[in-house]
Structure 1
């Protein structure tokens, strides 16, 4: 059976973006009729729709759809969540891991929903600082826990491929709300995400 992928794309958006990519490729001096490039504008248009599909999703609704009443009031940590996003300044990728914790206050959320909201916010044109804040505030305002912590570590292709061209630099951003603003709680979280428990 041949390999098949079922994906849905907005036909009008695909057509418009495809034409723009074709123009860009031609402006850079390439021949868009060359065998290797004939389908590139269409592929790029579809790729960009996927990479920015977070605009069409409501992360708060994702959380609300999997909230459960539970009298658990200790720290819940999901660490090493892979993320891939596009820097809004150069539209080049940045990628890394998110580490997220919350302390429930009467409600927990299905564990898969935390990585899903990371994906929703990542699949938009972003800066790492805002991505960290968006995830933090969404969990804080929707789940209303006793506290939330978010740490993101990422490598940025705009620093690695162009500009300063530093290959081994990583950017770390963090945000804390509620109980995690206390030094001892924040330290426990940072120690746990640094340890190799699994």
Structure 2
């Protein structure tokens, strides 16, 4: 006995419905899902729901004998072939929605991971570049380094730097020019735009 035979309907009305419509329903599901194993799972789930609904309706409307139920084979307590296909179609739609959600989740997760890796890489590169610039800045003479630090780190204007250091504005500008040239030489070959 296969695992699917265990799930097959157990009474004569269900057996009759299964025998009459399982082949067509399976073909519909294979065409819709393009996966025979998944189609078989959905087929079994559809007949499981059929059996549950049939039992629920039987209890609600009084229990009928198997003979009376088989006489109502076209409707089976109001459960028609259309009902079976509608349940199967709903199951297919649910599986496809789940698959789409999972694929979207996987894509978003992949995008997030790649952004994090890129961000980590960018942060490491930026930190390394900052370290190289700090090292080059330390190599400058104190007079040049002071002008650069006040301009870049303190964000002072050149006139404010001249006032702060008590030196002429022209001297501040020439020191800044010489400091930038020295930094450019020290950092030659290093791509600071990355």
TM-score range, shorter chain: under 0.3
**Structure number having the greater strand percentage:** 1
**Structure number having the greater helix percentage:** 2
TM-score by length of 1: 0.22
Determine which structure has more spread, i.e. the larger CA radius of gyration: 2
